Structure 1
Amino acid sequence: MQREILNPDELAPPSGFNHGVLVDGGKTLYLAGQDASGPDAEIVAPDDLVGQFEQVLSNLSTVVEEAGGSSNDIVKLNVFVADRDEYKAHLDELGDAFGRYFDDYPAMALFEVAGFFADDARIEMEGFAVVDDE
């Protein structure tokens, strides 16, 4: 499987994401929305966006690993947050967390939403991965 990061010169330089990820080969894995639920189905780190972000990345990685891949195989993420300003205020810490899971940022979008299924959730992510088919 080959993967190419695409950031056309005609677009603003990305920060914290890539404009596109072109993948040749592999199998597509559709990742359901993951909140910061731990194995007991309780939200980890209530009132702590960064702690929840870490748990969400761990949950997504667990799903991709079950399919035979790694977090680096995630090519697209939709990030849903309860408070966009809170997310922006923690960009450095969130970027550090991303660096522990990804060599390159996936293509991403950020959405501020009115609420989540779990009352204590501050963030949820869903997306796509392409795992090697060998």
Structure 2
Amino acid sequence: MERQIISPPGLAEPRGFNHGVLVEGGKTLYLAGQDATGPDGDIVAPGDLVTQFEQVLENLATVVEETGGTSNDIVKLNIFVADRKMYRSNLEPLGEVFGHYFEDYPALALFEVNGFFKEETLVELEGFAVIGEEEQTNAQ
């Protein structure tokens, strides 16, 4: 699978995201919205955005790994937050968490929403991954 980061010269240089990711080969995996639900079914760390963000990325990685891929195969994410100001004030620790899961940032979009299914939720992510043929073969 070939992957190319797209950063047109006419756009501002991206920080913490990429404008686009071009992928050839592989299969597309559609990732359902994941919140910070832990294995027990409860939201982890109520009130702690950074810890919830880490649980969300772990949940997404678990889905991708089930197909034989890794979190680096995620090419697009939509981030939904309860409080945009809280998200912006935690950019550095959130970026550190992101760095544990991604070599290159996927294409990202951020949305502030007024509520989630579970009230304790501060962040939810959904998106797409492209799993290379060689990874799928190794998973079987």
User: Shorter-chain TM-score: which interval?
Assistant: over 0.9
Root-mean-square deviation (Å) = 0.5
Aligned partner letter, 2:8: P
Shift of 1:38: 0.3
In 1: Cα distance, 2:92 partner to 2:75 partner? 21
What 5-or-longer segments of structure 1 have no aligned partner? none
In 1: Cα distance, 2:75 partner to 2:3 partner? 9
In 1: Cα distance, 2:61 partner to 2:88 partner? 23
What 5-or-longer segments of structure 2 have no aligned partner? 135-140
In structure 1, the partner of 2:85 is 85
In 1: Cα distance, 2:104 partner to 2:98 partner? 9
* Count of matched residue pairs: 134
In 1: Cα distance, 2:133 partner to 2:76 partner? 18
In structure 2, the partner of 1:110 is 110
% of aligned pairs identical?
Answer: 69
Deviations 1:70-125 (A, max 9, x none): 00000000000000000000000000000000000000000000000011000000
Secondary structure at the aligned position of 2:8 is classed as coil
Mapping for residues 1-134 of structure 1, pairs under 5 Å: 1-134=1-134
Q: TM-score, normalised by structure 2?
A: 0.95
Aligned partner letter, 1:63: V
Q: TM-score, normalised by structure 1?
A: 0.99
Shift of 1:133: 1.8
In 1: Cα distance, 2:66 partner to 2:133 partner? 13
